[in-house]
Copies of this chain bind each other. A is one copy, B any other.
Amino acid sequence: MLSNIQIVLVQTFHPGNIGAAARAMKTMGLSRLILVAPRRFPDDEATAMAAGATDVLENARVVDTLDEAVGECVSVIGASARLRNMPLPHFCEPDEMAEHVMTQAASAPVALVFGRERFGLTNEEIQCCTHQMTLPAAPDYPILNLAQAVQVCAHELFTVWRKNPENQYSAPAPVQSTRPTQQQLQAFLQHLDHTLEDAGFHNQPHSRTLERLHAFYIRAQPSKKELSLLRGMLSAFSTPRDNGPSNK
């Protein structure tokens, strides 16, 4: 359950990152934000960056220490840019982290913990965790902005959530155009052939030009509407122009 997932930000320096993280959470169905000793909060910058997610900020819990934040959790994933020399189980693949979190979160609270912008999490804070996680990134510059890391993790969690049919997520459906019948399509292709012939288009014997044009139009899968537009186009090509002699 997404509602069992807590995003914990430890000593965030920039209020804008808190707001951006709140927005990232809300776009991915998360709502429980916990701030451990934020430098400045509440703050106008956080509110501005939260955009339509100010409710997440308003409902945020503010605590003094990390163990207060995660005491009720059955799994605590500490996100860090660098690996620690501490043998906690380690997720290097965000989708594996997400599968684990969503499985646990079905029945109890789970926390994802993000550290300070510059310094990440202290070793003591890693000791409050059950797992570590690193986001795969380009070796030249693997340091994602804090709120961006929250967005990527939230996206991975939401992906697992929506792919679970129990959650009945339905994507907004793209416009489905109606398809013509084979008869309608073939009639168009014949119309195309006649229009080309009337226009003096010479189809070399043994050439496959018409076949290839036909295959193109078939592969393009025109809708009924599009077929109608294409037939209109052919009609325009068939009609002699008003000003000028016929080319036939």
Report whether A83 and B144 are in contact in the complex, using a CB–CB cutoff of 8 Å.
Answer: no
Q: Is A143 an interface residue (CB 8 A)?
A: yes
Tell me, yes or no, whether A92 is within 8 Å of chain B by CB: yes
Residue among B90, B132, B141, B177 making CB contact with A53, cutoff 8 Å: B141
Q: Tell me, in angstroms, the Cα distance from A134 to B162 when the chains sit together.
A: 15
Is the Cβ of A87 less than 8 Å from the Cβ of B151?
Answer: no
Taking CB atoms and an 8 Å cut-off, the chain A residues in 165-183 that contact chain B are 169, 171-175, 177
Closest to A175 in B: B85
Q: Which of A53, A142, A143, A148 has the most CB of B within 10 A?
A: A148
Complex CA distance for A137 and B25, rounded to whole angstroms: 10
Which of A's residues lie within 8 Å of B, judged by CB?
Answer: 20, 23-24, 26-29, 49, 51-53, 82-83, 85-87, 90, 92, 132, 134-138, 140-145, 147-148, 151-152, 155, 158-159, 162, 169, 171-175, 177, 223, 226
